């Protein structure tokens, strides 16, 4: 491996899934200003929208998306630009 191309600042970081409040620790070099106390130790915090504990592929649960409502909103929004 080439020397000097890999970061040196690996440390333990807390990743928090905001959809289900799951927290897991792993080593990372990510920069963050927030911290989170886990078992009395303050770790840098990275907030996630989705993780392995909330993703439908891993959980086996799918979420129903209101596609019809979204399509209707789109059509109504851009109806004024329709050429006649």
| H/E element, 11 | strand 11-17
The residue with greater pLDDT, 40 or 53, is 40
Average pLDDT, the chain: 82
For the cut 60, the answer to whether the pLDDT of residue 65 exceeds it is: no
The pLDDT, as a whole number, for residue 7 is 86
Q: What is the pLDDT of residues 17-34, one digit of tens each?
A: 888 888 999 999 999 999
- Nearest-10 Cα torsion for 63, 56, 36, 25: 180
Q: What is the pLDDT of residue 63?
A: 58
Q: How confident is the model at residue 50 (pLDDT cuts 50, 70, 90)?
A: confident
Distance CA 75, CA 78 (A): 5
């Amino acid at each position: 491996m080439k020397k000097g191309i890999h970061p040196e600042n690996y440390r333990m970081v807390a990743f928090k899934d905001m959809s289900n409040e799951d927290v897991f620790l792993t080593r990372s070099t990510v920069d963050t200003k927030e911290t989170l106390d886990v078992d009395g130790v303050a770790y840098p915090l990275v907030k996630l929208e989705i993780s392995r504990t909330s993703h439908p592929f891993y959980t086996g649960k799918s979420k129903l998306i209101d596609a019809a409502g979204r399509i209707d909103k789109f059509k109504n929004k851009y109806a004024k630009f329709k050429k006649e």
